[in-house]
Structure 1
Amino acid sequence: MRLFKKYIYLIACFGTLYFLFSSCSQSNKKESEIALHVNVFTSINWDSAKWIGYTKDQRPEKWAARDLVRNQPPMNINTWEPTEEDLKVTRRKTHPSVLLRKSFSITKEVTSAEVAICGLGLYELYLNGKKVGDRVLDPAQTSYDKRAFYVRHDITEAISKNNSVGVMLGNGFYGQNMAFWPGLAYGNPRAILVLNILYKDGTKEQIVTDESWKAHSSPILFDNIYLGETYDARAELSDWSTFKFDDTSWETPEIMKAPTQNLLEQDLEPMRKIRTVTPIATWKAEKGWILDMGQNMTGWLAISVKEKEGTVVKMRFAEHLMPDKQNIDPASTGIHVTGNTQTDVYICKGDGIETWEPRFTYHAFRYVQIEGLSKTPDLSQFTGWLVRTDAERIGTFKCSDPLINKFYDVSMWTIEDNIQGLLSDCPHRERCAWMGDAYVVAEAASFNFDLKHLWQKTSSDMETVLGVSKAHFKDPFPYDSRAPSNISVGKRLCLQARPDWGAATIMVPWFSYVYYGDTAIIEGAWDMMEGWMAYLDEKVQEDGIINGGFGDWCPPGGNPEMDTPPALTSTALYYQSLTSMEKMALVLDKKEVASKYAEKAKFVKTAFNKTFFNVETKSYGSQTGNAFALYSGLVPEGLEQLVADNLANLIMKDKNGHYSTGIFGHRPLYTVLNDYGHDAVTKHLWSITDYPSLGFMTEEHDLTVWPEGVSNWDKKERYYRHSFNHPMQSGFAASFHESLGGIRPDEDFPGFERFILRPTFLSGLQWCEATHKSPRGEIESSWKKEGSQIIWSISVPDNSEAIIQLPHYQKEQITLNNTVTNANVFNVPSGEHTIRISNSK
């Protein structure tokens, strides 16, 4: 909050200075008008605005409510088969969707006009009959009792003499009272709005939400962020947001309680429709037709139909089909906790060709079962929209191996599907910001998407859930007000953060600093990070080991197959947190504090190796133990290669050439193997298609995103009920950039001011290309094998330099721009360079 106030103060100062400077120049009237705009709208005065809504419910019971089947099977039950008790159905309504409008006229010329709005849970803003902007599912989810986001819209070009502003409201997460349990809802939809107008004569006018507005029910009869939307086109009100519309029959809105006094402007990029997905097939099903999108995706289906008035078109969404392919199988999308399938319903008005897509829900799906159409549908009637936070794509990767390319693409789809105003654990069943998932995937995601604003929001979200949850019953750590929850936003928090999941409190700000040079995030999160570390320091055992935690989550075969003690990964994460805190303290010029963390880290490293390291075998007992210890910098100096050698043996001999890691061990597995000369093991793991392997999922089972966990599925049977779209399983994808492309940040020079280039010229690959758009500019690393040489082309952006590391090659083998380097580690300045390496180790 202190950081936010400082930010607002600086912007206001900038606006004032800009106004004074521009006003001094009488030669350019337009410049002066722009300056006035900046000055007036740097901050929003909400004093006169009121929260308004409309709770009168006139919807037909048939459409306003849906059946909920409650079933929460034990974790060891893999398929959802309802019992007689499960089939006891309850029926629940959503809060009604609302239309709000206000008409006004102006008599003077306008210099600028802007709307600031917070519509909870979700809103669409209209002016003079047209939607304002292209944002969807706005604003981003927050813990609404702690803070809520408002959004600004410049409407200068759209405003006219006579105007009408309209707001459509949906439930979103704010009014979510269906999935899991009713207590997750904060209340009925509501909005607060300020419309500021600056006239050319220098006067101002403000229009705000209050009792003068008009309210009416919406044609959306049901909307729930998990379960879907029902839209009755017959109830549409033509031109409802235009000045000419007659609203005399509309009612006065209700003055609603403010959910929070902490209204903040949303800094995070908005949700948008990013790109279309074209379906690849349709066929007759037991009921209706099934549509195959060809890709497991997050978003929605836009339809175009021509049917009689009152025709009900029902669309149900799922990731899988039943074995006979005559019905969808919704088990993996969370029917056992949400209570029903993801379902959209469109009721036709019978007026020629009708097009529709939902507003206040989204789905995760590959297949859609469509009922109610009078004739066989054509694929051209349907368009899938990938919907996510519009963070810029800043990374690319491709190589000569199509299977490796597929692993990268599947990883990126999985991450994209879950950037939904937060990094969700899955985009259907839970849609929660589990902290362990954010830690595991942060680096892979940051190589490929500009997530600086997302990580800032994530860190701030964590702060809103400090001290909110009860302690986890499986850990020897009592409740503490300094501890966040396992889930960083909302009401479904799943108890106090366990010691491994809670590491994201430290590591998310650290990764954001390293990848984007973002010092603001560590300044803003410092008190929270200090509190979490103090809490752990007080509770850690005298021997320096942290017991408890979820552990190396979701190894092949599920958590019963976990072969690494949670104490190992929790203690390693504690060590990572200590070393990161030391470095962040130095960034903030807290030298004494940094020394404290450094000393503690030394103690924990000694304790870790005393407890978990087998001196005789040079092993930490498992693939994850070895890989995570190497990644964390915990292996005793000089023994790293031997531990990596043992890791390779554990894979090729003990596990017959397969990985056994969960999410913590899988994240660094391939980079660690490659760094220590075991790239042949990596290539083997990336070539096989039997269980368990990445190829088993993509080639044998045609998965287009990574599932929560891999099991030895039988194609003839139903898939397990666990999610099939989980970004935590994309953590390993960092290896495509950091290892094959070799692009790695240098934590001492954050934001890629200086960075490392250390590629692995993987066995069996002929070429590889990787790019990363860093804060300093585009970094390119491209290599190919020609005869006995490797030709490696690199591009270092302006105001940056790179450290070339080729530890597996002799200096005589390496030339830089046709000159012998006499070194296998050296620096190169900005610009384009060609490195040639004799391909014989």
Structure 2
Amino acid sequence: MKRIILLLLTFLALASCTNDSLNVSITNANVEQQVRPMPLATATPRFSWNYEAVDAYDIVQQDYRIIVASTAENAKNNVGDLWDSGVTESSQMLYVPYNGKTLQSRDKAFWKVITTVTAKGGKKAKLASEVKSFEISLLNQEDWQAKWIGHEFDDDVLVGKTRLAARYLRKEFALKNEVSEARLYVSGMGVYSAYLNGREIAPEELLKPTLSWYSKRVYFNTYDVTSQLQSGDNAIGIILEGGRYTAIRYNAENPNWDGTENVFGFGTPRLLLQLEVTYKDGQKETIVSDETWKITNRGPIRTANEWDGETYDGNFEFTPACHSEDLIGIDTLASKARHDMPIKSEANLCGWAESGYDDNAWLQAELVEAPEGQLSPQPNPNITVMEKLKPISLFQKGDKWYLDMGQNMVGIIDMKARGQQLGDTLTLRFAELLTPDSLLYIANLRSSENIDRYICGVQTLRATSLPISWHPMFVYHGFRYVEISGLRETPVLDDFEGCVIYDEMPVTGAFETSNEIINAVYKNAYWGIRGNYRSMPTDCPQRDERMGWTGDRTTGNFGESYIFNNHQLYAKWLTDGDDSQWDNGSLANVIPPYWRGYTDNMTWPGAMVTVTDMLYTRFGDVEPIRQHYAAWKKWMLHMKNDYMRAGLMPRDTYGDWCMPPESLELIHSNDATRITDATVISTPFYCYLCGKMAKFAEILGFDEDMAFFNQEITTSTIAFNDKCFNRVTGVYANNTVTANILPLWFGMVPKGLEDKVMNSIVDKTMNECGGHVSTGVIGIQQLMRCLTEYGHGDLALKIASNDTYPSWGYMYRNGATTIWELWNGNTADPAMNSGNHVMLLGDLILWEYEYLGGIRALEPGYSKIQLKPYPIEGLDFVNCAYNSVSGRIESNWKREGNRFEWDIVIPANTTAEVSLPTANGYEVKTYGSGKYHLTSKL
């Protein structure tokens, strides 16, 4: 009876969360900030949540209680048989660590959080989240019974432009009872697709598993396949391709040369698979990859090289063929995939991945050497088709057709064709631009072919009433235009659809202004940033590169993380950097280092430090600091001990990369007056990174390290100013904007002389550069914020809204729908001239959110917020919103004459320091959560 009364009282208390007096609910309850549930790589997960409030103010969490249970029923009834945190007086709602019974591989748990919140006027409510679940992945090598299998085929081309026919692997097995639960653990090196009983598992995912430095780490995926199994006969099938595990390029005559002739490779494709089945009677059975599997490379995917494209030959399709009514159409799959987007539809899949298929002609799989890297649960979602795009036009030239997607995009084309005959080859070639003659412009693709081919086979043509429907499985392209040849009937626009792919992540930011150029460039940045997520942040998606260049994201990562929740992607990238660090401490310029460039400089590998700081600041996550502090410290000491000279850091590799040159056809400037010296770049960056490391050391309680890094800043600042600063003129070195802005923004300018240095920057920009950008990748990372912070927001706005060369607006006015690699991307040498790079964005996006919108974090994860917009004259309005880990923040302002109106939203359980612009500066006041309308006179 006591228990019944207690449960009734608990129910009544929780029911109060829905009362009309306080409309607040717990939302976004998650484990490890996952954007969607995935089996965890840790036995000590961290719990987070935030709140949604309507017409409620000053919401403050007074306490929380986390219930973790072995069953959903226990969690529902507040029985925490795994962990009950008890009522804990705290406002913490991010990263509360599990502290219960030891969790093991395969454990599944159910959890919820119960909180007490108070609001303005003394209102109080007891809230409870929905019951959610999490699952522990396979954490130990001992959890695996499976063996790595594969086969070396004589027709593999492993030199030059490498070409491998896809491996098809299959295994039939019988299940003796009804299945209660089943998990598939699978790692296919380099990329794979998996099938059970003829149906693809997670057809919306592409290019899986996620990339890694395979000599240190190999990731596997986990799938709940309970619904795809049946008692009796079953079959599992896998398609394997080389991906990045097999070298995309290999020059056998010069194997140690780093660059487009050689990409680091690890071997030929191989598979590890473990299917664990639990029957309804409690018995268990495990099916594993081993030498009993069958394998062939005589399937229809004849090659799939990420730089060159995929070839599908229907003459190699497996028999028996599908009947026409059995063909898996793209629309059928779309209804089963997330986002309702079409993914993979292969007619040849009927049969070979089902039980009863005759595989006598196939070979026995062989046991192969396991990859060197540690087998690890994948920590981030796979690449997914996130949007579908219809072409805007279709035109013919000769026997070829040309598609215009209307947008430089990254992904694949799903196509249909009618009236084709046996042996026909349909060819799709991709490019970002057209020539003046309306042909594909491919000069900037270098050795990358970017061609997909479909060869019509007998079985494809059996269903004559249906059009051919096809798209590649293991490649992607960066393109706006597609050249199509081999069509027998006139195509229509509806025959083609662009599948936009990138790592699955939610959009978290929204930004617009009254300025056309700024809005257009923001849209271009949005497309460019997401198009350069391929299990790592890449430089470009179209040419023979597509690498994780670190320097492209040194500051850009802070801006990107307003637009996207890229927490999991960037956390994984830091692991790639740590895994690929050399024993002497050196970090690569490209991470993972598929191009093996360890040239030791501050500005490119330093992105590992800045990304670590971003994950802490933006998402409130201290774990990357704990995990990687030792590695980044080792790198900093390596740079100091090997290269520091009298307090100065002379070591650099790339300079102020891609600054506007003196001649429009050039890629890089040859004018010494435009070039910033290596020491003038590297020493300020060394000090900047020392500041980050001192911050990390303080967080971790490493007082001696904190003192060391702070002393390094002092020593190098003195040496730098003595060597490079002219106190009379207020300029550094040769007076480039980059030379001046780095020490100014990094706090190295002698006190009292800051305005003098800023005046040098303004004078250079206005009088020599006509109010235009004169910096490359390094200087642009600080330019917009520094100008605005020192009272020159008008100049920052001019730079942001320019549409003449060099500017972001110039790119837009000249047809760009993403961001160019070069300021002069429409005239420069095509040898290095991508139409889809993000490195020149610098701090533009960061400036837009933190200065125009005025949204900043005063404490990690936005538990305390600053709202301080800069209503620069020339802008009529700015609308800015960010879905932070603490909740949604909004800052929407407009000005009419001297009247300023501002609507703000502060999320529940946070406070904001609100700086209201006035004619005399700012009025500063602290606000609790809620929606507010503020006005002032400017």
TM superposition shift of 1:317: 0.9
- Alpha-carbon spacing, 1:650–1:259, altered in 2? closer, same or farther (3 Å): same
1:320 and 2:433 equivalent? yes
List aligned pairs for 1:106-505, cutoff 5 A. 106-133=175-202, 134-161=204-231, 162-178=233-249, 180-181=260-261, 184-217=264-297, 218-237=299-318, 238-285=350-397, 288-306=400-418, 307-325=420-438, 327-333=439-445, 335=446, 339-349=447-457, 350=461, 351-352=463-464, 353-429=467-543, 430-467=545-582, 481-505=584-608
Cα pair 1:118 1:149 within 8 Å, conserved:
yes
Give the aligned residue type for 1:698: Y
SS in 2 for 1:398: strand
1:10 and 2:123 equivalent? no
List aligned pairs for 1:727-738, cutoff 5 A. 727-731=838-842, 732-738=844-850
1:834 and 2:914 equivalent? no
Work out which of the residue numbers 720, 737, 758 in structure 2 matches 1:623. Answer: 737
Give the aligned residue type for 2:840: Q
TM-score of the two chains, using structure 1 as the length reference: 0.86
Cα pair 1:322 1:718 within 8 Å, conserved:
no
Work out which of the residue numbers 687, 694, 699 in structure 2 matches 1:575. Answer: 687
Give the aligned residue type for 1:824: E
- After superposition, give the CA deviation of every residue in 1:169-193 in whole Å (9 maximum; x if it has no partner): 1110112343734663321111100
Which residues of structure 1 form unaligned runs of 5+?
Answer: 59-63, 67-89, 468-479, 812-822
SS in 1 for 2:891: strand
1:99 and 2:168 equivalent? yes
TM superposition shift of 1:603: 1.8
1:691 and 2:802 equivalent? no
1:528 and 2:608 equivalent? no
TM superposition shift of 1:168: 0.7
Provide the C-alpha distance between the structure 1 equivalents of 2:282 and 2:841, rounded to a whole number of angstroms: 54
The answer for the alignment partner of 2:780 in structure 1 is: 666
Provide the C-alpha distance between the structure 1 equivalents of 2:138 and 2:603, rounded to a whole number of angstroms: 41
Provide the C-alpha distance between the structure 2 equivalents of 1:784 and 1:520, rounded to a whole number of angstroms: 39
SS in 2 for 1:140: coil
Cα pair 2:609 2:689 within 8 Å, conserved:
yes
Cα pair 2:600 2:651 within 8 Å, conserved:
no
Provide the C-alpha distance between the structure 2 equivalents of 1:113 and 1:414, rounded to a whole number of angstroms: 39
Work out which of the residue numbers 109, 123, 147 in structure 2 matches 1:50. Answer: 147
TM superposition shift of 1:205: 1.0
Cα pair 1:440 1:663 within 8 Å, conserved:
no
SS in 2 for 1:663: coil
Provide the C-alpha distance between the structure 1 equivalents of 2:210 and 2:750, rounded to a whole number of angstroms: 45
1:789 and 2:922 equivalent? no
Aligned residues: 770
TM superposition shift of 1:18: 5.8
- Alpha-carbon spacing, 1:382–1:833, altered in 2? closer, same or farther (3 Å): same
Cα pair 1:120 1:171 within 8 Å, conserved:
yes
TM superposition shift of 1:648: 1.9
Which residues of structure 2 form unaligned runs of 5+?
Answer: 1-38, 47-66, 83-106, 111-132, 251-259, 319-349, 662-666
Provide the C-alpha distance between the structure 1 equivalents of 2:76 and 2:744, rounded to a whole number of angstroms: 65
TM superposition shift of 1:261: 4.8
- After superposition, give the CA deviation of every residue in 1:395-446 in whole Å (9 maximum; x if it has no partner): 1101111211001111111111101100011112211111211213111111
Give the aligned residue type for 1:112: E
Cα pair 2:166 2:301 within 8 Å, conserved:
yes
Range with bigger deviation, 396-405 or 669-678: 669-678
Provide the C-alpha distance between the structure 2 equivalents of 1:414 and 1:220, rounded to a whole number of angstroms: 30
SS in 2 for 1:706: coil
Cα pair 2:825 2:833 within 8 Å, conserved:
no
- Alpha-carbon spacing, 1:633–1:93, altered in 2? closer, same or farther (3 Å): closer
Give the aligned residue type for 1:802: A
TM superposition shift of 1:808: 7.4
- Alpha-carbon spacing, 1:374–1:633, altered in 2? closer, same or farther (3 Å): same
TM superposition shift of 1:23: 10
The answer for the alignment partner of 1:780 in structure 2 is: 890
- Alpha-carbon spacing, 1:436–1:651, altered in 2? closer, same or farther (3 Å): same
- After superposition, give the CA deviation of every residue in 1:170-228 in whole Å (9 maximum; x if it has no partner): 11011234373466332111110010112232221111001121212221011101111
Provide the C-alpha distance between the structure 2 equivalents of 1:142 and 1:399, rounded to a whole number of angstroms: 39
Cα pair 1:753 1:799 within 8 Å, conserved:
yes
Cα pair 2:916 2:923 within 8 Å, conserved:
yes
- Alpha-carbon spacing, 1:824–1:130, altered in 2? closer, same or farther (3 Å): same
- Alpha-carbon spacing, 1:313–1:57, altered in 2? closer, same or farther (3 Å): farther
SS in 1 for 2:273: strand
- Alpha-carbon spacing, 1:20–1:313, altered in 2? closer, same or farther (3 Å): closer
Cα pair 2:918 2:937 within 8 Å, conserved:
no
Give the aligned residue type for 1:159: L
- Alpha-carbon spacing, 1:42–1:201, altered in 2? closer, same or farther (3 Å): farther
Provide the C-alpha distance between the structure 1 equivalents of 2:686 and 2:639, rounded to a whole number of angstroms: 8
Cα pair 1:176 1:224 within 8 Å, conserved:
no
Give the aligned residue type for 2:932: H
TM superposition shift of 1:803: 2.1
Cα pair 1:95 1:189 within 8 Å, conserved:
no
TM superposition shift of 1:719: 5.5
Provide the C-alpha distance between the structure 1 equivalents of 2:593 and 2:797, rounded to a whole number of angstroms: 42
Give the aligned residue type for 1:145: S
- Alpha-carbon spacing, 1:697–1:22, altered in 2? closer, same or farther (3 Å): closer
Give the aligned residue type for 2:364: T
Aligned-pair RMSD on alpha carbons?
2.9
Work out which of the residue numbers 788, 794, 801 in structure 1 matches 2:911. Answer: 801
Range with bigger deviation, 246-255 or 200-209: 246-255
The answer for the alignment partner of 1:87 in structure 2 is: none
SS in 2 for 1:367: strand
Provide the C-alpha distance between the structure 1 equivalents of 2:263 and 2:533, rounded to a whole number of angstroms: 25
Give the aligned residue type for 2:937: S
- Alpha-carbon spacing, 1:34–1:510, altered in 2? closer, same or farther (3 Å): closer
TM superposition shift of 1:718: 8.2
SS in 2 for 1:239: helix
Give the aligned residue type for 1:756: Q
Provide the C-alpha distance between the structure 2 equivalents of 1:210 and 1:264, rounded to a whole number of angstroms: 20
TM superposition shift of 1:796: 1.3
